[in-house]
């Protein structure tokens, strides 16, 4: 078959599997450095000076290799597709992923985490709070630096996984009412998936120690979708409005119009007592 020639398949499932195989093959040869490139010409110079570029390090490559390996398990993928089509009739997508032990998230490696915080690999602190921790895959990357790790998660299935890993699971409705303050609070790919992101930012600021750090991962350009929310159209009750329509175009808008009104300031990673904001293929 000639390169680029389209294959016609009658079965919808066969076509989906074929397309997935093609995408996986393209990803294996893709120039991953493109994931980390940012057009700084659209970013306020005050903000672009704080950008910390990252790259696909060994742990990132290891995670991708595991993903490729699992994608090659054809019969496992078929089984997951069948089970998922049934379970999503009465379970959320997140809970189904937890039940099937799939859909783990990768945000940063251990080395990238300490670089973003501007600390050494031997740095330790008392308390970490990871909001919307999912199955705890990313929590594990950070946990070794803290004496105590707490987490929140809406999905009951994911909560059980977090408890099995030894983390303290807090109530999603009342975690911010506690007198406990944290050295680091992380909110990774959650703001654009929750009903009240602006309220959440203020709550996170409130539970930080005076010299604490807040780490936020946020997909730009924004495309909010709330799995558990008040609106039937899955739109959030509170809207973040950074302006712009591209990743680079929204960076300054998020900092000035979303984070700063919540009492957050951007850190360059070396200054203590500021809040670290993480976005895209690098850190702010």
Instruction: Assign 3-class secondary structure to the chain.
Output: CCCCCCCCCCCHHHHHHHHHHHHHHHHHCCCHHHHHCCCHHHCCHHHHCCCEECCCCHHHHHHHHHHHHHHCCHHHHHHHHHHHHHHCCCCCHHHHHHHCCCCCCCCCCHHHHHHHHCCCCCCCEEEEEEECCCCCHHHHHHHCCEEEEEECCCCHHHHHHHHHCCCEECCCCCHHHCCCCEEEEEEECCHHHCCCHHHHHHHHHHCEEEEEEEEEEECCCCCCCCCCCCCCCCCCCCCCCCCCCCHHHHHHHHHHHHHHHHCCCECCCCCCCCECCEECCEEC
Q: Closest Cα partner for 116 from 217, 44, 37?
A: 217
Q: Which of 48-62, 177-191, 232-246 has the lowest mean pLDDT?
A: 48-62
183, 212 contact by CB (below 8 A): yes
Strands 125-131 and 208-218, bridge-based pairing: unpaired
Mean pLDDT on 217-246: 91
Predicted local confidence at residue 280, as pLDDT: 41
Chain centre distance of CA 130:
11
Rounded to an integer, what distance in angstroms lies between the CA atom of residue 172 and that of residue 170? 6
Label residue 218 exposed, middle or buried (CB < 10 Å: 0-12, 13-18, 19+): buried
**pLDDT over 90 (residue 150):** yes
pLDDT, mean of residues 21-39: 76
Evaluate whether 275 touches 266 at the Cβ level (below 8 Å): yes
- 19-23, 73-77, 129-133, 224-228, range with the lowest pLDDT: 73-77
Q: Check whether 273 has a pLDDT greater than 50.
A: no
Gyration radius from the chain CA atoms: 20
Average pLDDT over the chain reads 82
> What mean pLDDT do residues 111-135 have?
94
Rounded Cα–Cα distance for residues 36 and 278 (Å)? 13
Rounded CA gap, 118 and 74, in Å? 42
**Per-range mean pLDDT, top range of 9-13, 57-61, 95-99, 270-274:** 57-61
Partners of 151 in the β-ladder: 130, 169
Residue from 61, 67, 68 nearest 111 by CA: 61
Q: How far is residue 10 from each of residues 2, 5, 14, 16, 18, measured CA to CA in Å?
A: 20, 16, 8, 11, 12
Whole-model pTM?
0.79
Is 68's pLDDT higher than 70? no
């Amino acid at each position: 078959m000639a390169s680029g020639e389209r294959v016609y398949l009658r079965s919808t499932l066969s076509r989906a599997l074929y397309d997935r195989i093609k995408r996986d093959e393209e990803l294996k040869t893709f120039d991953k450095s493109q994931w980390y490139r940012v057009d700084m010409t659209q970013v306020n110079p005050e903000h672009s000076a704080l950008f910390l570029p990252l790259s696909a390090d060994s742990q990132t490559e290891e995670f991708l290799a595991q993903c490729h390996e699992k994608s090659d398990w054809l019969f496992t993928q078929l089984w997951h597709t069948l089970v998922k089509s049934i379970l999503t009739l009465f379970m959320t997508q997140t809970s189904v992923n937890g039940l099937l032990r799939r859909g783990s998230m990768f945000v940063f490696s251990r080395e990238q985490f300490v670089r973003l915080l501007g600390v050494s690999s031997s740095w330790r602190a008392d308390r970490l709070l990871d909001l919307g921790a999912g199955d705890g895959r990313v929590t594990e990357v950070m946990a070794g630096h803290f004496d105590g790790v707490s987490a929140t998660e809406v999905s009951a299935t994911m909560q059980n996984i977090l408890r099995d890993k030894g983390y303290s699971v807090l109530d999603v409705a009342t975690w911010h009412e506690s007198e406990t303050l944290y050295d680091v609070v992380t909110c990774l790919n959650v703001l654009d998936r929750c009903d009240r992101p602006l309220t959440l930012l203020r709550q996170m600021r409130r539970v930080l120690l005076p010299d604490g750090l807040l780490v936020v991962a946020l997909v730009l350009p924004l495309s909010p979708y709330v799995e558990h929310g008040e609106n039937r159209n899955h739109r959030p009750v509170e809207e973040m409005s950074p302006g712009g329509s591209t990743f680079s175009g929204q960076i300054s808008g998020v900092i000035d119009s979303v984070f700063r009104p919540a009492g957050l300031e951007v850190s360059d990673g070396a200054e203590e007592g500021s809040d670290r904001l993480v976005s895209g293929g690098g850190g702010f």
